[in-house]
Structure 1
Amino acid sequence: MKKSIVLLAILGLSSLAMADAYQKCVVCHGKTGEKAALGGKSKVIKDMSKADIVAAMKGYQAGTYGGAMKAMMVEHSKGLSEADINAIAEQIGK
């Protein structure tokens, strides 16, 4: 019983952490990904597919994707796990 409670608590905290993964993006991209960040230099990410968001974020992490704001996004994406990236894509993508 105790193991079940601990496991549920860990899973709950993990879900909260993934749900919060997008919070650092809100300032530039908006609550629902509706903004073209930094004066229109980025895509409106809510219009992107889930697969495109995942590919872009992994590309930023690898330094192989991006335009004018590439350096900024490389830094912002570094701390994201694969689970964080998938959670963001599920939350924002089509």
Structure 2
Amino acid sequence: AAAPAAREPQARQPAKGQIGDYQANGMMAVAKKLGMAPRQLAEQVLTHLDLSGIASKVEIAGPGFINIFLEPAFLAEQVQQALASARLGGSQPTRQT
């Protein structure tokens, strides 16, 4: 069976932070349309997913949830970029020597 029409991937912050920073739970609905097990689809998705440098860990949980744990260095880099951006109104403090 062919995959349903392409949709924007959806990842949400889970209610419980210990299961990851983000969780993709769309495997259940898509797997049903494809006539396959959600966990099997999640495994296939992971073979094509490259989050190196972004995620420290990506795991399949339960019936097919994909849990994503962000890499601390990636988060720090994003914060530094936000602080330096004039669009966000933040600035880095000037170091005094």
Q: TM-score, normalised by structure 1?
A: 0.23
Higher helix proportion (structure 1 or 2): 1
Higher strand proportion (structure 1 or 2): 2
Which gives a bigger RCO, structure 1 or 2 (Cα 8 Å, sep 6+)? 1
